[in-house]
Structure 1
């Protein structure tokens, strides 16, 4: 991301099933899929730097 969302990194992984095991890299933080603050439309209106 750039501008007021600079520094934010959102990673996505696609698995065959929701419970499929995978090796999570150390740099990945918490799950944010259901947090509307991370939706693109919300980030455009209320950037990450303002939280």
Structure 2
């Protein structure tokens, strides 16, 4: 695993566990989960790439 890939993984995990969101659930309700779902999708894509 190279440094760039590891850095991307760390940044995504920090975003997912951070209380700060681009689309907050408190304001948008279920639509606020869209950014989290996109981050999880990107994380899966990175983890599965070679």
The TM-score, its normalising length taken from structure 2, stands at 0.29
Query: Which one has a bigger Cα radius of gyration?
Result: 1
Larger relative helix fraction: 2
